[in-house]
Amino acid sequence: MNKCIRKSSIETSIRELEEMKDRDYTVISNYIKDVKEDYSIYKNRKNLFGFLRIFQILGGFVITTLTTYNNPYFKDNTELINIIVWYVSISNNIISLIVEKLNGINLADERLKIKLLITEGIKYDESSENYSLYSEDMKDKKMMYFKKACKSINENSVFGFLTRSETGPPEHIGFIHESKQKRIKNLWRESTPEKKNTIHPEEEIIDVNEG
């Protein structure tokens, strides 16, 4: 049965996160747990929103059908139909209020945040980008930076996180910036040609006077 149901890309990524190398550490295990819970909440909200939308459309269709005066059933069962229409109308009003409340939740933003969290976990596990600047003996600091990055994703908007500055005050952000600068300097030094032996003008003057 499970093989017939196609898993979403997020579900597949979460399954891969469960195989992270450092999953036995508290920081990483809590991260995986939080990502799974966030996705579960997002999925439930999305399904509820879709169900209510369908119920809202069906309710409107039922009211329209029952209140059509050329409906032969309407003439003989007016009282019963009025009661049904009244209950359907009340239900639709309640559903409309719930849908309006759900509209205040940006499901698209929630989905992007979950994807950003997953991407951050993959970068940590593969030691890519900023995480490549941490050596093996700096695992605690690496995890601390990872924890702060995940917190930043959760507390900021998607745009705010993606445009954040890495030269700010949070701990280890400065370390990342300094490491990047050192790497750039080393690359520049390696690409600069060796200086040739040249005679300084001062040395030329001394030689002339001695001659």
What DSSP state is assigned to residue 172? Answer: T
pLDDT of residue 179: 66
pLDDT tens-digit series, residues 81-126: 777 778 888 888 888 888 777 777 788 889 999 999 999 999 999 9
pLDDT of residue 32: 94
pLDDT tens-digit series, residues 5-51: 456 788 899 999 999 989 899 999 999 999 999 999 999 988 888 88
Determine contact, residues 17/118, Cβ cutoff 8 Å: yes
What DSSP state is assigned to residue 12? Answer: H
Q: What is the pTM of this model?
A: 0.65
Average pLDDT for 62-89: 71
How far is CA 181 from each of CA 166, 177, 185, rounded to the nearest angstrom? 12, 6, 6
Distance CA(36)–CA(87), nearest Å, equals 39
